[in-house]
Amino acid sequence: MSANSDTPITVILLGTGTPQPDIERFGSATLVQAGGLTLLFDAGRGASLRLTQAGIRLGAIDAVFLTHFHSDHTAGLADVYASGYIPGPFGKRQTALPVYGPEGVVELAEGLMRAFEGDRRERAIESIPARSTVLEPHQIGEGVAFEQNGVTVRAFGTYHHDFAPTYGYRIDHAGHSVVLSGDTAADPRVAHAAKGCDLLVHEVAAIHESMADNPFFRDVVMKGHTSPEQAAAIFAEARPRLAVFTHIVQLPGGKVGPTVESILSRTGAHYDGQVIEGCDLMTIRVGGDGVHAERPAASSIALSEV
């Protein structure tokens, strides 16, 4: 799947899940195509498979941006990296792969390169440029993280936990904008960054009523995530043209947690704008004629089609 030249920004939700293994919702990963660039934001479990299903060559990723280092956002990076320099039709990367992220991104990149030293050594053939096997880390702070081809990526701080900084991203191109919250508790910085944007892709978390008093869910998990009511308040302040939920946390987990319908209903009780459930391989086109989301065919996420 290639970017439509008439669409300033195309977004593909590659993974809308959580750490829980789920064949329908892979780990967090979002593709943004703009200005002829193909940018990957987070690379959770199965990112390489979803990229392949979306028709994106692994070696075609121009840069990776990480919101934080939890495994459900980074576990797929190794495959995107190492399979991307293989000369097969799915790879063919010719240059280093830039990876942008918080403090710790240098250690992550160096660690992955060490882990795949044997692979790089054994694949050291003429058709694989040595530079293509390099991960090029860039530590970010708040502000502009990347500018190229008329595309600007800005990082803004969020609160997900106490241990290290976490970030969301705003992508601007040709007068249009997309904001990705990353994992975050309800944070006014998200609303500020998303003011008047075209598309806001935001996480959400909810606890089933039968487990509402569970101290781990209530006091630990929800401390770093956003409830439907809190998301509604952020949407009401930002007023995006479209809000889409991703990283949908349904405690105690998956299909035994709150339904997506109940999450949308709770959000809608406090926000009158358009909010939809994101799903893996949903394509969202952002342009002058509006923001249009297209769900994949039911069979398109089957692994047998990869």
Residues catalogued as catalytic: 72
User: How many angstroms separate the CA atoms of 303 and 92, rounded?
Assistant: 23
Residue whose C-alpha is closest to residue 171's, from 204, 205, 145, 136: 145
Residue 41 β-bridge partners: 30, 65
User: How many angstroms separate the CA atoms of 16 and 36, rounded?
Assistant: 24
Say what the alpha-carbon torsion angle 112, 27, 14, 46 is, to the nearest 10 degrees: 60
